[in-house]
Amino acid sequence: MAKSLESFKAGAANDDIVEALNRDGGVIMLNLAPPELMDEVYDELLANTSEHEREAGGDILWPAGNKTIGGLAGISPTYVERLVLHPKMLEIADAILKPHDPMSPRPPGVDVPEADNVWPYTSFRRMEVVEDGHGGQQLRAHGTGDEGPYCHHYNLGATVMLEVGRGSKNQCLHRETTIYQPWVAHLPQIHEFILSVNWAGSEFRSDNGATRVVPGSHHWPEDRIAQPNEVVDAEMPKGSAVVWLSRALHGAGASELDEGRRAFFASYVADWARQEENQYIAVPPDVAAKLSYEGQRIIGYRCGPSLGWVKGRDQENLLRDGTSSPL
């Protein structure tokens, strides 16, 4: 069992990062963004929200004394363009979620793979058309296996600023997959369909509410309770990020100081799962239109060949005219 989460610099090999994620359930990415960028995001959030929108905590999942701001993608373009779309974060998400159409830039000359003899409207493009021997046809599904893909693409799940205040309690340890139960069962061997990240908007320390992670808990049965000596604090400098898998137990810590810590949370979720936060209300089309092409796509303004289409709209960017309907 890991005594702490393994830390990596921006230039670390993705294979090493993925190996540590699969082993421990979480990693720390050091100094991915300059500290002043964290301040720029926070300033945008304050400029575009009222005091009422900076909600205080007070329930089982977000203790009293803490504050949140939701819908970050609709009120901070910098958050979307510089954090959500950070190249290293997309590389990690591609490696874990294994989409058919990766978000990180492909090397020149490398295209999205196509399969032979498939019905063109399936999300994974793994449905074979076969003859039934009586003049008819039927679709036959093929499993994707460990090599993937696990989804056609992925979208933003939730976007929240999480600010820990003095005197708050430890947040209840939880898993991201819980919100999809019982429809998606807790199966430690299931392919990953969510990847989460907390960007350190301030320094994360054990005494100011650093995110707590339970290494190895993504391999546990659901009824196993984490013991105090199994929980580690994701201590890291401002501008760093802690990344964890969907079934890893985690939660915010408590702050013993007058000032707690600030985090900018984002989750990436497979396109076949409902986004936790309704991004089309949080980021309506007129606001999304001001983001970059990739920003619009990561929010969810795109579709796979069979899921999320809008007739008369472009499959790759639903804000544009085009074709996305399978019929």
Alpha-carbon span 299 to 1, nearest angstrom: 36
Closest of 315, 226, 251, 318 to residue 279, by C-alpha = 318
pLDDT of residue 279: 97
pLDDT of residue 30: 98
CA 291 to chain centre: 19
Task: Kindly list the structural domains of the chain, giving each domain's residue range(s) and its CATH number in brackets, ordered by start.
Answer: 7-106+147-321 (2.60.120.620)
pLDDT of residue 112: 54
What DSSP string describes 40-103? HHHHHHHHT--TTTSEE--SSSS-TT-EEEE-HHHH-HHIIIIIIT-HHHHHHHHHHH-BSS-S
| 175 close to 157: Cβ distance less than 8 angstroms | no
Distances (CA, A) of 1 to 13, 23, 196, 231: 23, 9, 21, 10
Alpha-carbon span 250 to 30, nearest angstrom: 19
Alpha-carbon span 21 to 279, nearest angstrom: 27
Mean pLDDT by 10 residues, the chain (327 residues): 84 97 97 98 95 73 81 97 97 96 70 50 63 77 72 95 86 92 71 96 95 96 93 98 96 87 96 95 97 97 91 94 84
Alpha-carbon span 212 to 104, nearest angstrom: 28
140, β-bridge pairs: 128
Phi (first) and psi of residue 281, to 5 degrees: -90, -45
pLDDT of residue 115: 47
> One-letter amino acid identity for 259?
E
Token pair, residue 294, equals 């990739």
